[in-house]
Chains A and B, each alone.
Chain A
Amino acid sequence: MDWKALAAPRVLAVATAVVLTTALTLVFFYAPLEAEQGFLQKIFYVHVPLAIVSLCGFVAGGILAIAHLRTGDSRWDVRSYVAIHMSLIFGLATLITGSIWAKGSWGHWWVWNEPTLVSFLIVFLLYATYQPLRFAIEDPERQARYASVFAITAGAFVPMNFIAVRLSSAYVHPRVLGATGNLPGAMELTFAISLAAIALLYLTLCSLELHTKRARAQLRALRRRVEERTGAPARAPARSAAPSLPLPPRTVGTITSMRNHPGREA
């Protein structure tokens, strides 16, 4: 039993719970009410960290994909997949909270003259094709390679897109990054802790997803050994957009025999 590996997500989860509770307490009981928007402005402590974390996650997915292409190790591809997958979920949450905020402060669910929101939507639409792309390629090795090429291109696209959209219109967005000097101290502190909480939440969820993948790979290996002993026919795994971790070395012989299974030929 690998206790170290078991402990890591548990520590992360506890840390996340503590920091998230602190952040929410600060948001509701410590941070001052904003003069113009009042209580509505509190969504800022959720929306902006979600956006920052998910954009960083997209870029991190690209960097992990570089590691995959350089080493050819499929574990990097799994990490890149998990980073992008989680960022997509956080990105959806960003769009929803952003819409609520826009409705509250400007009266519309969607505003086009708001470059940060628009560029985020473009990035989200681009990454939404990540899973269909993976799903459309049957060979797992090529799927991983092509997905990494996509992840790197899209990762470089994120900053480029923000430059282009920001240039295209005068911004009305409350600029937070790089302009934290405008925030009063109490708000700044609350924002920093909220950002840390959301980042920790992201890391915890990523680590949990990686753990699930590891457990599933082990389960698959065990099941295959059982099938080998009992002589039951080995089934080809269902086609999936999600990459799976390589099996432990003991079962390598089984993998190659699976690869050569006639049902798997493209």
Chain B
Amino acid sequence: MKRTVGALLRKEMLVELRTLESVPGMSLFSLTTFVIFHFALNRNSIDGDLAAGILWVTLLFAAMLGINRLFVADSEEGALDGFLLAPVDRSALLAAKVLALLAYLVVLELVAVPAFALLLLGPSLGPGLGGLVAVLALGDIGVAVIGTLVSALAVRTRARDLLGPLLALPLLVPVVIAGARASSPLLALHSSGTPAGRWLLTLALYDLLFGLIAYALFDFLVED
């Protein structure tokens, strides 16, 4: 299992490094969105609730770009058929895809969060940084799990570019609620430095619940 996941993950990373299909697009999208928010809101700096909301909305929509493409190459170039022929556990594909999407999201945030702090954020990011990293990490796991499940669901349908976001966005509303509420005090003018425990708990519960559901259901999505 571990070896299979490792091999699949290596393949994902190799494909992404050679084609540069998802991560640069996602990062560029987030930068453009910050610029658009600057003009749309007509504000030079933001903080608190507004900052948390804009950060999460931007990250979520940028993640959508990656989610939409996650299985497209496998499905079109026949990698999925090859995987199904191999005598390995199907869940290995789920684990590898979740880890790959998680890696994309981390790279995206390494670009987007500093850019956000430079371009839009009024107060300094310093005191709340540790808490923000924890909130983002928990949120990313949820986005990666749901994103992988939805992407596998949508890739074999005729309207996959439409169905992916339509299915994923309502499912990710709890992540946005918990993520934005947890990070808004960290981005406020007088940051307290620690996110509220109940939001972290909500995120962790969400990750656990949908992690188990994805594990239980993924096999049915790659049956044929």
Contacts and interface: CB of A to CB of B under 8 A. Distances in A.
B89 to A, nearest CB: 18
B221 A168 contact: no
B35 interface: no
B224 A161 contact: no
Interface in A143-163: 145-146, 148-150, 152-154, 156-157, 160-161, 163
B173 A161 contact: yes
A96 interface: no
B220 A160 contact: no
Contacts of A149: 149, 153, 217, 220-221
A167 B220 CA distance: 33
Chain B interface bracket (under 10, 10 to 19, 20 to 34, 35 or more): 20 to 34
Given A129-B163, A145-B220, A150-B167, A160 B156 contact: no
Interface of B: 149, 153, 156-160, 162-163, 166-167, 170-171, 173-174, 177-178, 181, 198-199, 202, 205-206, 209-210, 213, 216-217, 220-221, 223-224
A153 B149 contact: yes
A14 interface: no
A164 B202 contact: yes
Interface residues of A, number: 29
Given A161-B174, A167-B198, A145 B167 contact: no
Contacts of B209: 156, 160
Contacts of A150: 153, 167
A165 B177 CA distance: 7
Given A133-B167, A137-B157, A163-B174, 11 more contacts: A69-B217, A123-B170, A129-B170, A136-B160, A136-B163, A146-B220, A154-B171, A157-B170, A160-B209, A161-B173, A163-B205
